[in-house]
Each structure stands twice: as structure tokens, then as C-alpha cells.
Structure 1
Amino acid sequence: MRQDVEIQTADGIATAGLFAPAGPNATTAGVILYMDAFGPRPALYGMAERLSDAGYFVLVPDLFYRAAPYGPFDTNAFNNEATRTELRALLTATTQAMTASDSSAFIAALDKAGATGRIGAVGYCFGGGRALTAAGTYPEKIAAAASFHGGNLASDAPDSPHRLAGSIKGRVYVGMAGVDNSFPPAQSAKLAEALREAGVDHILENYVGMAHGWAVSDHSVHDEKGTERHWKRLLEFFAETLR
């Protein structure tokens, strides 16, 4: 069951959904679920519940809290001129540095809730890079970071996540959409090289036939078979690393 919480960050109050584990699978491990571009909503909360059912404390923070209120958006927002403009402005204004700073407060919120064990991070789309950045920014805290259809993970930007590979101490899993203009083959090769040179325990997996956004249930390109494959990989990854 979701508990709505407020988290004090350096820049204000971030709202978040918090899910606590119950039953025989419950652990003291925690997971930060970094949202995709469309913000916190039932589809992401459903994913958090599945992780919580697997035994983890899960936090789904609103990364756009500085601009609240905004939206709400559905996954067709980029097809409408007005919502496309608003959404792009939010994405541009919410920098990697901001989320990296916020993540310290997110980790503290999990600890306060009872997640005193290892911490994992998983992100989708826009959030995929945030998960990797968190692993590089808080290497003593983040034991596992996963990205699914994450974009611009190894771009030319100065804040590209691949530049933090040398700081990552945890494990990394990257699930790539088969064709994704936001993460083309040249970037995946650059990311793999950076992680390997840094000695990071990592896996990059290509989900052939899947489109950007396939793993989120309310996305127009959602693929059920691909989603279940993603869940199998993610749950095994966290079980091996966080328990």
C-alpha cells in the first residue's frame, strides 16, 4: 500500500510514494524507482508495488517537484504541441545534478522508513540515467543500479552518466530497447567501454523488437512479453545484489 510522503531536499519539498514490504519476503533493502518522463502515476506505483511484494522498501519520488503543480501527462504527451512543450521544459530544467543532489535525501528517506540494508536504484526512460548517476554519486550507498530504455547514457554532455563509471562500486544492469534513437549503438558501445575500463560488474542487454517505453504498462508501445522478461532480469538482479 502506498504512503504519500514529503521529503526535504536542498531545493524544497519533494513528494514521493513510499511502499513498505510485508510478509515472509520482507527485507531491510530499499529501492529508489526513478520515474520516466511522464511523472509519478498509477503505472509506476504498480511497478513499485511489485518490487515491494518482492521484499523491498520502494520510493517513487517526483523528480519534477520544483515545478509543481504540472501536468498531469499521459504517455501521448509528446504528440500534443502544448503538453510536448511543457514536458520538454520540465525535462530540460530538471538536471542530472539536481537529481543527484536530491538522491541523498531519497536515500535518507528510505533509511528513515526502515530500509537500513542495501540500496538499489532502477530508472525508466529519463530515469535510467538518473539511476546510474546515483550509483556514481553515492557509491557507498547504491549497491545495484538498473536502467531500462534509458536515454543518453553515454552522450557528449558533460553530465552524461558514463562519465561517472570510475566512481561506481555497485553492479549495473542496462536493458536497451532494440531500436532507440535516445540510446543508439554508438552510445551503448561507449557505455560498455567506460564500465569495463572502470572494472564495474555490469550487463548490457539488447531487447530486440522492443521500442522505447516497452516496460511501462500504460505506454503506447508496452509489450507484455518484453515486460515480463524485464521483471525476471530486474528481480534476479536485485535478489543477487541487495539481499
Structure 2
Amino acid sequence: MAKQDISIRTEDGTAKAGLFRPSHQAAVGIILYMDAFGPRPALDTMAERLAGEGYVVLVPDLFYRFGDYGPLDARTAFSEEPSRSALRSMIDGTSQDMTRRDSAAFLDALTQAGISGRIGTVGYCMGGGRAIHAAAAYPDRIAAAASFHGGRLASDAPDSPHRHVSTIKGRVYVGSAGVDGSFPPEQSALLAEALRRAEIDHIIENYVGMAHGWAVSDHNVYDERGAERHWKRLLTFFEESLR
């Protein structure tokens, strides 16, 4: 696998991104929407694993509007200052609508990389809702959207993902942490109802015993067995949906 550092021109500036290519020619692309701690080696490793399965993978920096930042340590960024305040500012200052608009440029970047057909999205933590939003905003390009330990997927906010799923044409997979305050059972029920009413092929799966962040290796709550289960589900989902 080879990683290429690229710059993507968006409506609001220039986003840095990593583009990961498999060792052989590929025709299917994936956008990996980061968690709250930004692009870093842990996400590179995940993108490399997807590339090893034959996908071209784009990992964009969703916090590019804030200029240079970090590096952020997933183990301590929310528990220590000043990183906690800086991180909260970037999360709150990067709306779902911003990422939705940015995703048009991300799709163009994949097209320039030779991926012109339908693609998949996957997001972790704050990226989970963005992966679903992208599928709703660009239904003719995105055939599969996956979220793992995504938060606020069915909240009271006007931009809550569950309010926008009706335009999705592809499949949706949601893997939730066993007990997660950012995606409690009542939100799971609301999301399931919205997806069923929209007649979208979907799965919402509860990973019992897993904590928010379990699938990403540099989180304190990383769980190897749970992460491998997530990989099995994700790769099967993309294989069935995109190939």
C-alpha cells in the first residue's frame, strides 16, 4: 500500500488528506471520516487495512479550518487542558453542514484518483454522523455508509443525521457501543424508525460490553476482539454493497 499526502480545495479553504492506494489497480473508493482526534497514525493504519482489501481510501482532515493543530493524543486530549478546550472548540466549530459541503470536494478528489463510480463511507465518533450525512447529500455516488460509535445520530438538533436519511439510496450500517451516552437507546430507536420509514436497507448493531471508541487502536478503551468484530462487519458490508 502507498500513502500520498494531498491537498483538497473546498469552498472554505484547503483540506489536507491522506490518499491510500492498494498495491494493485482498484475501482472502488472509501472516504474515512475521522474521529475527534484528527488524522494520525492510528487512522492511517485503518486506512492501510482497507487499502489492503483493494480499496482506494481517502482520509481528510475535517478540522482544516483551524489551521495547524495537534498532534492530539486520544488518551488524554479530553482529560487535560489546554487540549480539551481546543478540541471542543474545533468540534463545535465544524458543523455537519460544513462536512457535507466538504464532501463534494472529497468525492472530486477520489474522481481525480481514478475512482469515478459509487463509493463507501465510514466514520468513527464524530465522523459517524458525517458518513451518513454524506450518503444523504450525495446519494448517486455513495452506495454504503457505516458508522462506528457515532454520537448524536438521532438528537434534537436540526442537523441530526436521522432527519436527513430519506434521500439515501445506498445501505447503512451502524455499530454502537454497548453503553454510550452520545448515542443512548432512545436515539437508536429514533434512527431505526427513520431508516425504516425511508425504506433504507440498514443494520443497527449493539456491541455489548464495548465503550465509545473501542474500534480505534489509540483510544484508552480500545478492545482488540471488539475491533476485529468491527472489521469483519465493515469489510463484509463494503464487499456486499460495493462489489
Normalization by structure 1: what TM-score? Answer: 0.98
Residue 14 of structure 1 is matched in structure 2 by 15
Q: Distance in 2 between matches of 1:68 and 1:219?
A: 24
Q: State the shift of 1:27 in Å.
A: 2.8
Q: Distance in 2 between matches of 1:85 and 1:119?
A: 35
Unaligned runs of 5+ in 2: none
Q: Distance in 2 between matches of 1:27 and 1:199?
A: 31
Pairing 1:209–2:209 present: yes
Q: Distance in 1 between matches of 2:69 and 2:20?
A: 24
Q: Distance in 1 between matches of 2:87 and 2:63?
A: 10
Residue 192 of structure 1 is matched in structure 2 by 192
Q: Deviations over 1:67-101 (max 9, x none)?
A: 01112211120000211100000000000000000
Unaligned runs of 5+ in 1: none
Aligned residues: CA RMSD? 0.7
Q: Deviations over 1:159-187 (max 9, x none)?
A: 00001111111100000000100000000
3-state DSSP of counterpart to 2:78:
helix
Pairing 1:141–2:138 present: no
3-state DSSP of counterpart to 1:18:
strand
3-state DSSP of counterpart to 1:210:
coil
Q: State the shift of 1:20 in Å.
A: 1.1
Q: Which stretch of the first structure deviates more once superposed, 183-192 or 63-72?
A: 63-72
CA contact (8 A) 2:134 2:142 kept: yes
Matches within 5 A, 1:162-181: 162-181=162-181
Q: Deviations over 1:101-160 (max 9, x none)?
A: 000000010011011232100000000000000011111111000000000000000000
Q: Distance in 1 between matches of 2:235 and 2:67?
A: 32
Q: Please tell me the residue identity of whatever aligns with 1:35.
A: M
Normalization by structure 2: what TM-score? Answer: 0.98
Residue 157 of structure 1 is matched in structure 2 by 157
Q: Distance in 2 between matches of 1:116 and 1:231?
A: 25
Moved over 4 A (4+): none
Q: Distance in 1 between matches of 2:103 and 2:46?
A: 20
Residue 41 of structure 2 is matched in structure 1 by 42
Q: Please tell me the residue identity of whatever aligns with 1:167.
A: T
Q: Distance in 2 between matches of 1:88 and 1:17?
A: 24
3-state DSSP of counterpart to 1:209:
coil
3-state DSSP of counterpart to 1:101:
helix
Percent of aligned positions that are identical:
68
User: How many residues are treated as equivalent by the alignment?
Assistant: 241
Q: Distance in 2 between matches of 1:159 and 1:223?
A: 31
